[in-house]
């Protein structure tokens, strides 16, 4: 089956720093989403981005479907950005189920 790999697995930043999280996938995908899981366990939708680039405030994402990767950019990080960031994909003819990567755990220090 498809493999979804995220890097780095862990990241520690000082407040105000920028970061780039990467998601590689091993096959063609129908859909790609980025999520933030906050310390209380809730999954927050960040981007639905099967291809192209989107921006939402300090966050932006780019998916290059032909090269099978997506990037999540966090600029001017804040302590509230801490948590785990997941990339997840759906593939054709699989009922729309999301296949998750293992996540990147981000810690932003004040």
Partner 1 sequence: DADVTQTPRNRITKTGKRIMLECSQTKGHDRMYWYRQDPGLGLRLIYYSFDVKDINKGEISDGYSVSRQAQAKFSLSLESAIPNQTALYFCATSDFNGRAYNEQFFGPGTRLTVL
Q: Could you list the residues that contact partner 1 (CB under 8 A)?
A: 4, 30-31, 33, 35, 41-43, 45, 48, 50, 86, 88, 90, 95-98, 100-103
Q: In terms of CB distance, is 77 or 86 closer to partner 1?
A: 86
Helix (H) or strand (E) holding 13: strand 10-14
Nearest to 85 by CA among 2, 30, 1, 11: 11
Is the previous residue joined to 63 through a cis bond, with omega within 30 degrees of 0?
no
- Considering the complex, what minimum distance in angstroms separates the CB of residue 83 from partner 1? 13
Q: In terms of CB distance, is 19 or 101 closer to partner 1?
A: 101
DSSP helix/strand/coil, 101: coil
- Considering the complex, what minimum distance in angstroms separates the CB of residue 66 from partner 1? 16
């Amino acid at each position: 089956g498809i493999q979804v790999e995220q890097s780095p697995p862990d990241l520690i930043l000082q407040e105000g720093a920028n970061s780039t999280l990467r998601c590689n996938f091993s096959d063609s995908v129908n859909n790609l989403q980025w999520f933030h899981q906050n310390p209380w366990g809730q999954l927050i939708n960040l981007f639905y981005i099967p291809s192209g680039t989107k921006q939402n405030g300090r966050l932006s994402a780019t998916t290059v479907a032909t090269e099978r990767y997506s990037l999540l950019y966090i600029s001017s990080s804040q302590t509230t950005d801490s948590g785990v960031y997941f990339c997840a994909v759906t593939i054709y003819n699989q009922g729309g189920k999301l296949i998750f990567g293992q996540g990147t755990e981000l810690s932003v220090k004040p």
